[in-house]
């Protein structure tokens, strides 16, 4: 059946890989030819400029930072060489790899998991991510990821902790035998810019849970050369809750590989710090120079080191930030081999709003990492994102598939689009998901990714959705639409989606569906 599905509903069965070098004009020209040849032989879905990932603020031009070395990307699994806890198979989590080859100090490989999480970071220190010794948390906790919390609901619903993980869920439900990772809805590699981007629907980590997960997590890794990786996150809150505690990111290191934690000081020096997991320490960002690092030997300038640069706190503090930004750190149990860390900007994400967060990882010798981290501090930042209805539009076409009339990104014959969605999350917009019922194999278009999920009664009035139960697949993302009450200005350009889509299973006549609006035609100011 899969071979008959439109492109965005098919799995990528021929994952790509290739290399891009930097250097002289001659080398660049040869590389360009190589890239073109590679693109010809690879799936278009990877290299086409998908508009859904055009949400990240432009990378800053950092004085003194010039690309060098060789970048490579692949979705073909090969063993990383890292040792994980007994019984674990890395193929379970692997989604893609971004690798930089240069001198021994500046070479690295980052592996992206099936939820968009960074589950493996290898450098001159070896593997920096924990061995995943927790029996119920394989690559969903002791890794680098985004986490969003509604602290009020987290406190007032005992037994239903409110933590939306970028990575996926804990193995708390006997129904699960392997990890359920947050569904990746879009991904792309840009060979020229040496960057990979992913979009995932984050999951309530503690299951079963009375709270639905309403966060879309975007992540972009950009190889800047010289051991510098720029990471830009975008988070859009399409749910009804206020997210008032964000880890951007949560993470840590393998304690046996990088045993010493160092904290920068405002005067340009650094100090070694330590704390036990049960007594995790907080340090305001203003009390540092904007970065934290982990190394083998803090007294050796050549010691292999990994740093995370979070930048400077906002001054004056904006309305969306409730407290001073801070670092948090602490050492876990010996059997976990994990030094935990989180960066908390204390940004509040209201329903229907989005924000970006930019940090940097730096890999190399201690002295070089210290110097680079100081340079990068001024370029790491965070803040709100505001898209309007005149930015990017996505044409959707009508197609017949397995007895259904569905929407598709690819045109069929000479037929024009039936309407346009927004590529970017406008304020108060709703994402359009395509789900597949695994029993009937029929598709469903919805703004609620849990619409087809199994619902279980937990006692009283409490119910829990189980997106991990296996009865539904999350197969596509088709952009954003606007509920009628949020249409502003050019109301005549919108149409009622329910008037166009008549299939009662694909787009049932629900009250919420009756209120959804999309553009009838592409506005002249729009960018396809």
Local mean pLDDT, 10-residue blocks, the chain (528 residues): 43 48 37 34 41 95 94 97 97 98 96 98 98 96 98 93 98 95 97 97 97 98 98 98 98 98 97 90 96 98 98 95 97 96 97 98 98 97 89 89 92 83 95 97 97 91 93 96 88 89 93 92 51
User: Measuring CA to CA, which residue among 180, 104, 277 is closest to residue 471?
Assistant: 180
Instruction: Give me the pLDDT at residue 50, please.
Output: 77
What is the dotted CATH code of the domain comprising 73-385? 2.70.98
Helix-then-strand count for the chain, H and E: 5, 33
Tokens standing for residue 10: 């098919």
pTM of the predicted model as reported, rounded to 2 decimal places: 0.91
Digit-coded pLDDT (tens) for 33-66: 333 333 333 333 333 457 899 999 999 999 999 9
Q: Please name every residue paired with 326 in a beta bridge, in sequence order, or none if there are none.
A: 284, 344
**What single DSSP character describes residue 526?**
-
Cα–Cα distance measured from residue 92 to residue 126, given in angstroms and rounded to the nearest whole number = 21
Domain ranges of the chain: 73-385, 393-519
Cβ 141 vs Cβ 134: under 8 Å: yes
Say if CB 444 and CB 506 are below 8 A apart.
Answer: yes
């Amino acid at each position: 059946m899969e071979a008959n599905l439109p492109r965005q509903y098919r799995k990528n069965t021929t994952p790509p890989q290739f290399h891009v070098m930097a250097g002289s004009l001659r080398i660049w020209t040869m590389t360009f030819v190589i890239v073109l040849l590679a693109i010809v032989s690879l799936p278009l879905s990877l290299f086409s400029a998908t508009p859904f990932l055009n949400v990240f603020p432009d990378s800053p031009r950092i004085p003194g930072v010039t690309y060098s070395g060789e970048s490579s990307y692949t979705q073909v699994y090969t063993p990383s060489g890292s040792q994980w806890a007994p019984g674990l198979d890395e193929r379970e989590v692997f989604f893609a790899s971004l690798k930089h080859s240069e001198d021994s100090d500046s070479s690295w490989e980052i592996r992206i998991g099936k939820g968009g999480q960074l589950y493996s970071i290898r450098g001159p220190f070896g593997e920096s991510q924990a061995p995943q010794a927790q029996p119920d948390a394989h690559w969903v906790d002791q890794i680098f990821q985004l986490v969003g919390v509604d602290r009020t609901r987290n406190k007032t619903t005992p037994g239903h902790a409110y933590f939306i993980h970028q990575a996926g869920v804990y193995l708390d439900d006997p129904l699960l035998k392997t990890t359920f990772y947050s569904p990746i809805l879009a991904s792309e590699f840009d060979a020229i810019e040496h960057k990979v981007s992913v979009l995932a629907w984050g999951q309530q980590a503690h299951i079963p849970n009375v709270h639905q997960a309403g966060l879309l997590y975007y992540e972009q890794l950009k190889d800047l050369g010289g051991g510098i990786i720029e990471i830009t996150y975008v988070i859009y809150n399409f749910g009804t809750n206020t997210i008032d505690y964000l880890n951007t990111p949560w993470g840590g290191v393998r304690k046996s590989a990088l045993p010493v934690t160092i904290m920068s000081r405002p005067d340009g020096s650094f100090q070694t710090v330590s704390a036990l997991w049960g007594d995790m320490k907080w340090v305001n960002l203003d009390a540092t120079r904007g970065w934290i690092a982990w190394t083998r030997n803090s007294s050796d300038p050549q010691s292999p080191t990994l740093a995370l640069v979070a930048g400077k706190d906002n001054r004056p503090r904006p309305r969306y930030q409730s407290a001073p930004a801070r670092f948090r750190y602490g050492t876990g149990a010996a059997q976990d081999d994990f030094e935990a860390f989180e960066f908390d900007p204390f940004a509040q994400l209201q329903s229907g709003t989005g924000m970006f967060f930019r940090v940097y990882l730096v890999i190399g010798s201690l002295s070089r990492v210290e110097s680079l981290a100081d340079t990068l501090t001024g370029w790491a930042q965070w803040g709100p994102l505001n898209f309007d209805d005149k930015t990017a539009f996505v044409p959707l076409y009508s197609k017949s598939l397995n007895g259904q009339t569905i929407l598709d990104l690819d045109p069929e014959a000479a037929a024009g689009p039936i309407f346009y969605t927004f590529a970017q999350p406008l304020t108060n917009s709703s994402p359009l998901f395509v789900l597949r019922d695994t029993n009937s194999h029929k598709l469903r278009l919805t703004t609620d990714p849990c619409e087809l999920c199994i619902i279980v009664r937990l006692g009283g009035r409490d119910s829990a959705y189980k997106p991990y139960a296996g009865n539904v697949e999350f197969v596509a993302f088709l952009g954003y639409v606007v509920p009628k009450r949020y249409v502003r200005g050019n109301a005549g350009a919108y149409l009622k989606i329910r008037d166009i889509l008549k299939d009662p299973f694909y787009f049932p006549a629900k009250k919420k569906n009756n209120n959804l609006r999309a553009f009838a035609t592409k506005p002249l100011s729009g960018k396809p």
